[in-house]
Amino acid sequence: MKKLFWLVAALALASCQLVAQTEVQTETAIPAATVIPGETLTDETYLTIETAGFSGPLPPGETALQVTVRDGAGLVVEGASVQARGDMTHPGMTPIFGIGVETAPGVYRVPLDLNMGGDWVITIDATSANGLSATQQVNLQVEN
Ligand SMILES: [Cu+2]
Structural domain spans, the chain? 2-142
Q: Which of 60, 20, 68, 49 is nearest to 141 (CA)?
A: 60
* Beta-strand runs (E) in 2-132: 47-52, 61-71, 81-88, 96-99, 101-104, 107-114, 118-127
DSSP single-letter state for residue 7: H
Yes or no: domain 2-142 corresponds to CATH 2.60.40.1930 = yes
Please give the distance, rounded to the nearest whole angstrom, from the Cα atom of residue 40 to the centre of ligand 1.
41
pLDDT number for residue 41:
57
- pTM score, two decimals? 0.70
Each of the 144 residues of the chain gets a pLDDT tens digit; together they read 444 444 444 444 444 333 333 333 334 444 555 555 555 555 567 899 999 877 779 999 999 999 999 998 899 999 999 999 999 999 999 999 999 999 999 999 999 999 999 999 999 999 999 999 999 999 999 998
Please give the distance, rounded to the nearest whole angstrom, from the Cα atom of residue 5 to the centre of ligand 1.
37
- For the sheet with 118-127, list strands across it: 96-99, 81-88, 118-127, 133-142
Please give the distance, rounded to the nearest whole angstrom, from the Cα atom of residue 85 to the centre of ligand 1.
14
Please give the distance, rounded to the nearest whole angstrom, from the Cα atom of residue 66 to the centre of ligand 1.
23
- For the sheet with 107-114, list strands across it: 47-52, 61-71, 107-114, 101-104
Please give the distance, rounded to the nearest whole angstrom, from the Cα atom of residue 140 to the centre of ligand 1.
13
